[in-house]
Amino acid sequence: MPFLKDTMPLVKEPQQRPVGLPSWFLQSLFAAFNVMLLIIFSGLFFAFPCRWLAQKGEWAFPIVTSLLFILTFVSLVSLNFSDPGILHRGSMEEDPMMVPVVRVNHRAFCLQWCPKCCFHRPPRTYHCPWCNICVEDFDHHCKWVNNCIGHRNFRLFMLLVLSLCLYSGTLLGACLLVLVRTSHLLFSTDKTMLVHSMLVAVPAAGFLVRSFLLLLTQAKSVSAGERSCESKVCDMQGCGQTSCTFPASVHLPFHCPPPLGLQQRPHCLQKRSVHSLSCVQGCVYLRAECRREEG
């Protein structure tokens, strides 16, 4: 049974932020700004183009956009306060020089030590420098909602992206319909409807393109059984390529195993002190120990 290292340490962590910079306040302010942006543009749409369509008997767009707005708004707010799968900090008594080994899907993995949270993190667990927490099944840190995307809120994130894509497309379609119906008012003195329709249509088109590309990227990652951070590693090193710092007998899977569960101890955990060995050498040493015990 080969012993594999977790691939998450291959991900280059962002540079440390300067001490004293109130980044948490700026990120929270940016997330609140996104919520207000959604409310403002939706208010312009419901006050002018949507009301005009309702007066003309076009009730399909007002009903559909209202339902999609509620779904998008609830998903956005819920994602802001959701738990991505935070793993609690360990004890200072744990020895970072000990190499835990866990078996997942008939494969063995050397768990990596997180010096900031003081525990050996399970596979697919990554320390987010922005939130200063270890997140189970980490995907990425979303600055739009000021929260990490992980094991517990990934479905909610996908729901937000899908609902935002549908909502932006519906807004754009409704505004274009209003512009076509009011094209004879281009030379009129009252251009209020045209101006407000354009104010909603342009941002809606931008959000539609961005959310659609994000939806395609996430769908590709899900179909491949990997996360966004793992896809970046695969693109940088070449898919199927292993790191040059490891021997050929040690494979680093880019399709990592599923998460072990929040704070759940592995069902088979072997620990040995390897003060004078590297992690790979420690894995080889532990493999021999396991074979000797099984024999």
Confirm whether 151 is domain-assigned: yes
User: What's the Rg (C-alpha) of the chain?
Assistant: 25
Confirm whether 261 is domain-assigned: no
Residue 93 has a pLDDT of: 66
Instruction: Give the model confidence (pLDDT) of 134-152 as tens digits.
Output: 999 999 999 999 999 999 9
Confirm whether 16 is domain-assigned: no
Instruction: Tell me the three state secondary structure of residue 276.
Output: coil
Low-confidence ranges of the chain (pLDDT < 50): 7-15, 18, 234-295
Q: What total of structural domains would you count in the chain?
A: 1
Confirm whether 221 is domain-assigned: yes
Active-site residue, 131 included = no
Domain of residue 81 covers 3-10+21-182+193-237
How far is the C-alpha of 229 from the C-alpha of 238, rounded, in Å? 14
Confirm whether 141 is domain-assigned: yes
Confirm whether 154 is domain-assigned: yes
| Nearest to 218, CA basis, from 208, 229, 233, 204 | 229
* Cβ proximity of 79 and 156 under 8 Å: yes
Confirm whether 158 is domain-assigned: yes
Given 114, 117, 128, 142, the catalytic residue: 142
Confirm whether 276 is domain-assigned: no
How far is the C-alpha of 211 from the C-alpha of 250, rounded, in Å? 38
Instruction: Give the model confidence (pLDDT) of 246-276 as tens digits.
Output: 222 223 333 344 444 433 444 444 444 333 3
